[in-house]
């Protein structure tokens, strides 16, 4: 049997079912295809359906019910499992072809916008923009560490930042990039040089569109305060002060052809020219929606490279375990904070909090450090990390730090995110949501922010829009998902889908965090699994007894509506937790 896949106006390639299955086996057996079992089942299903001539049946509903065991009530708008697994499969395929499949003759992809796989011989794949070239050493290292890099950072790098033990590298060995200017009040942070985009078509229309893309990308990346954007190569050269090299560069090209446009982008290290990341974006060219197309493609680029857990952060995170210059201490603390977010355990929390307190003393005008410090103070309250009654109280410390961040930089969405959480836990729910909405208007492409805002929205009682915001953010987030997978467990629980709630809870795998165990405990109570519930209850009794001393208080601190609180408490009672009736 042959599979027909049209690759362009002048080429139609035929692949046999045997060739496709052989390539699928090659991919699945490779250690470089880093995907969980259900993602592997996803890939196998969509390929076998296509081979069988049923590609038109490959929809979110069929995948959810036939691969993931969802029942007939599955709603893709409320349950994002298919979108999330599709994203994992796409990233795993990209990783495989980058690290192991460079010489494979058949390239399998799942184009965005659907779940039907595409099959292309290598020559055609290269012509149509599928990235399957030989990897650079840097790219190999980045992709090899992949999803483990942040958890690894939480162990290795946190040990280093605990004592702030850093030393200066030899010339030319400095990790990352320099700060925005020679201002000693500002620490070194990554610097991204956005180079002029290349017009590959050479027409008046393509010239206009190319310039527009470059401007859109610059504007959207600049909204992420964790990095600095440069548009002039001369400003990136070292001289006069601290050595600010090396830096990253973003290169782009635009081609118009046959009523379609293609944007190609890549991020490189300027010191050795190694490619860290590359992607292409193809769309129909509609003169009435050019501005929207530019904005959407630029947003996708900014989200991929500049947000926390994005390409630049992933590239820099492994270097924190190496020696880095003294003025990189602050950035190392930023990386360490996101390493802590990998599993939210109390030991890492203490280390990161101390590191950020030292950073704000050394760089009192560093708004992002104040914002992250505020978030660690919030975790001290909501996860009961540290003393029960600190002086001053953790929420007061958090509010002061958040306000300081926003005073220093009113556009710093991480500071606004911290303020949103402080107000939420103070019971100022409407004001908290207003702050979150304002932050999203500043940078709607920050998935860390949009997911947290969605969680606050859901917990306040607006479950449908809030949970959709979380799932949409997860589908775009290239990094750690555990915290927000736990949020989706709560979403599933509240709509009575306890099987999905258990799946999301176990997928989150925040084994050191008490709230994770509380969510799973309530879910197991609803599912009538007393043995498993007993294990979760035992963990809480031994590791977080404060959470059980006043359960209604803990639940009410998070879930706003009384009927939702009672729904959650009911699951805990069914799991064996002794909770007095009101």
CB 349 within 8 A of CB 154: no
Cβ atoms 386, 350 nearer than 8 A: yes
Distance CA 499, CA 485 (A): 14
Number of neighbours of residue 582 by Cβ within 10 angstroms: 7
| Phi, then psi, of 184 in degrees rounded to 5 | -70, -10
Provide the sign of the torsion angle of the four alpha carbons 405, 408, 410, 412, taken in this order. Answer: negative
Q: What angle do CA 352, 191, 470 make, to 5 degrees?
A: 55
CA 263 to CA 254: how far, in whole Å? 5
Quote the distance between the C-alpha of residue 428 and its chain's center: 28
Residue 18: both structure tokens together: 């045997």
Residue ranges with strand state E in 105-258: 106-109, 118-121, 191-194, 198-199, 228-230, 248-257
Please tell me the total number of residues recorded for the chain in this structure.
582
290 SS3 class: helix
d(CA 544, CA 385): 10
pLDDT digits (tens, 9 = 90+) for 493-543: 999 999 889 988 988 878 889 999 999 999 999 999 999 999 999 999 999
Lookup: tokens for 45: 């299903």
Asked if 547 contacts 522 with a C-beta cutoff of 8 angstroms, the reply is no
**Residue 469 and residue 5: Cα distance in Å, rounded?**
35
Query: At which residue do the structure tokens 């992709």 appear?
Result: 143
Instruction: Give 12's strand partners.
Output: 6
Task: Please check whether residue 254 is in contact with residue 209, taking contact to mean a CB–CB distance below 8 angstroms.
Answer: yes
Q: Strand pairing partners for 121?
A: 106
pTM above 0.75, yes or no: no
Q: Classify residue 387 by its DSSP letter.
A: -
Burial of 272 (0-12, 13-18, 19+ CB in 10 A): exposed
> For residue 528, what is the DSSP state?
T
pLDDT at residue 248, as a whole number: 87
According to the model, what pLDDT value does residue 86 have? 87
**How far, in Å, are 111, 145, 222 from residue 285 at the CA level?**
18, 38, 26
Q: How far is CA 359 from CA 22, 185, 340, 372, 475, in A?
A: 54, 11, 16, 11, 33
3-class SS of residue 575: coil
d(CA 580, CA 489): 25
The candidate with the shortest Cα–Cα distance to 168, out of 149, 182, 188, is 188
Q: For tokens 């595409």, name the residue.
A: 118
| Whether the Cβ atoms of residue 553 and residue 541 lie closer than 8 Å to each other | no
Residuewise pLDDT in 10s, the chain (582 residues): 545 443 333 333 346 888 898 899 999 988 888 888 888 999 999 999 999 889 889 999 999 999 988 888 888 777 778 888 888 888 788 878 867 787 888 889 898 778 999 888 865 544 444 444 344 443 344 333 444 444 444 444 454 454 443 332 232 333 333 334 445 567 777 888 888 899 999 888 888 888 888 888 888 888 888 888 887 655 555 444 444 444 788 999 988 887 788 888 888 888 777 787 888 877 777 765 777 777 888 888 888 888 777 777 776 655 554 444 455 567 778 878 887 887 788 888 988 999 899 999 989 999 999 999 999 999 999 998 876 555 569 999 999 999 999 999 999 999 999 999 999 999 999 999 999 999 999 999 898 999 999 999 999 999 999 999 998 888 776 555 688 889 999 999 999 999 889 988 988 878 889 999 999 999 999 999 999 999 999 999 999 998 898 999 999 999 999 999 999 999 999 999 999 886
Supply the pLDDT for residue 514. 92
**Pick from 440, 435, 359, 428: which is nearest to 395 by CA?**
428
- pLDDT given for residue 133 in this prediction: 38
The closest alpha carbon to 378, from 342, 337, 408, belongs to 337
Given this model, what pLDDT does residue 155 score?
Answer: 47
């Amino acid at each position: 049997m042959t599979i027909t896949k049209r690759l362009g106006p002048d080429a139609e390639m035929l692949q046999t079912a045997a060739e496709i299955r052989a390539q699928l086996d090659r991919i699945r057996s490779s250690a470089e295809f880093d995907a969980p079992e259900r993602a592997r089942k996803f890939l196998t299903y969509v390929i076998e359906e296509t081979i069988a001539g049923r590609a038109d049946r490959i929809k979110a509903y069929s995948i959810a019910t036939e691969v993931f065991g969802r029942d007939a009530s599955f709603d893709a708008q409320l349950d994002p499992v298919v979108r999330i697994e599709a994203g994992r499969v796409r990233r795993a395929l990209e990783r495989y072809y980058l690290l192991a499949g460079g010489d494979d003759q058949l390239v399998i992809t799942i184009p965005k916008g659907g779940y039907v796989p595409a099959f292309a011989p290598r020559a055609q794949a290269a012509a149509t923009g599928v990235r399957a070239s030989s990897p650079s050493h840097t790219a190999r290292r980045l992709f090899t560490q992949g999803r483990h890099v942040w958890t690894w950072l939480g162990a290795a790098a946190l040990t280093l930042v605990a004592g702030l033990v850093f030393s200066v590298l030899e010339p030319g060995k400095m990790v990352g990039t320099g700060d925005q200017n020679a201002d000693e009040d500002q620490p070194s942070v990554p610097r991204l040089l956005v180079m002029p985009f290349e017009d590959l078509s050479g027409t008046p229309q393509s010239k206009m569109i190319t310039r527009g893309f470059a401007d859109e990308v610059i504007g959207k990346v600049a909204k992420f305060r964790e990095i600095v954007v440069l548009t002039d190569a001369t400003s990136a050269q070292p001289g006069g002060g601290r050595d600010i090299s090396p830096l990253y560069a973003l290169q782009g090209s635009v081609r118009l052809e046959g009523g379609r446009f293609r944007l190609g982008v890549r991020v490189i290290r300027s010191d050795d020219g190694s490619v860290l990341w590359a992607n292409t974006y193809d769309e129909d060219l509609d003169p009435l929606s050019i501005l929207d197309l530019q904005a959407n493609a630029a947003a996708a680029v900014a989200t991929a490279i500049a947000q926390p857990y994005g390409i630049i952060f992933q590239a820099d995170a492994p270097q924190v375990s190496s020696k880095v210059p003294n003025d990189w201490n602050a950035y190392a603390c930023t990386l360490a904070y996101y390493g802590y977010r990998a599993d939210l355990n109390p030991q890492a929390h203490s280390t990161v909090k101390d590191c950020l307190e030292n950073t704000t003393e050394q760089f009192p005008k560093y708004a992002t450090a104040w914002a992250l410090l505020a978030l660690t103070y919030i975790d001290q309250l909501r996860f009961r990390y540290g003393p029960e009654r600190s002086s001053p109280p953790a929420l007061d410390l958090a509010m002061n730090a958040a306000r300081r961040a926003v005073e220093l930089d009113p556009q710093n969405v991480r500071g606004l995110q911290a303020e949103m959480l402080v107000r939420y836990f103070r019971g100022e729910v409407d004001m908290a949501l207003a702050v979150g909405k304002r932050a999203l208007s500043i940078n709607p492409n920050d998935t860390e922010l949009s997911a947290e805002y969605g969680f606050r929205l859901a917990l306040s009682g607006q479950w449908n829009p809030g949970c959709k915001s979380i799932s949409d953010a997860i589908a775009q987030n290239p990094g750690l998902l555990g915290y927000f997978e736990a949020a989706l467990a709560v979403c599933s629980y509240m709509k009575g889908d306890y099987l999905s709630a258990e799946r999301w809870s176990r997928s989150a795998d925040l084994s050191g965090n008490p709230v994770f165990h509380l969510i799973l405990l309530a879910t197991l109570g609803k599912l009538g699994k007393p043995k498993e519930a007993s294990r979760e209850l035992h963990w809480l009794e031994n590791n977080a007894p404060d959470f059980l001393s006043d359960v209604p208080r803990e639940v009410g601190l998070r879930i706003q509506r009384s009927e939702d609180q009672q729904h959650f408490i009911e699951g805990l009672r069914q799991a064996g937790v002794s909770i007095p009736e009101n």
